Amino acid sequence: MRKINLIVIHCSATRQGSELTPEALDALHRQRGFNGTGYHFYIRRSGEIVPCRPVKKIGAHVKGYNANSIGICYEGGLDKAGKAADTRTEEQKESLRKCVTDMLERFPGSRVCGHRDLSPDLNGNGIIEPHEWIKQCPCFNVSDEF
């Protein structure tokens, strides 16, 4: 088993009111050259947790961090106008807590962060600030919840 020390939360960048099925997500990732969905888990708006890539396999979800991480993505992240927003349903929030808790039990001591929190620290102050984010993903502050 590979050593896991990082759990990274993502959003699918899907507009509110639109659906991105697990099959469509898989197709999008294959179009990008991945060998299937790059995340380990995908959380639908209904709260359903869809296993994607086996945990024992390296993900394809955050360049430079895949070898030692677990990727969890929720369906959503954009409002109806296409702007970054926390669009998680209560069911998604509950399932995300469960999924992260399960992973922390399995991989104690792992850091939990959002994809954006792994952006480069451009000014070298030790803090990844909003102006340094490469992307908004996952469109909420993970450290406030985990």
pLDDT band at 73 (very low <50, low <70, confident <90, very high): very high
Q: Which two tokens stand for residue 57?
A: 């396999």
pLDDT band at 76 (very low <50, low <70, confident <90, very high): very high
Domains and their CATH numbers in the chain: 6-145 (3.40.80.10)
The SS3 of residue 143 is helix
pLDDT band at 97 (very low <50, low <70, confident <90, very high): very high
pLDDT > 90? residue 134? no
Q: What is the pLDDT of the chain when averaged over all its residues?
A: 95
CB count within 10 Å of CB 143 equals: 11
**What pLDDT shows up at residue 127?**
82
Task: Give the position of tokens 């359903």.
Answer: 48
Predicted model pTM: 0.94
86, 139 Cβ separation under 8 angstroms? yes
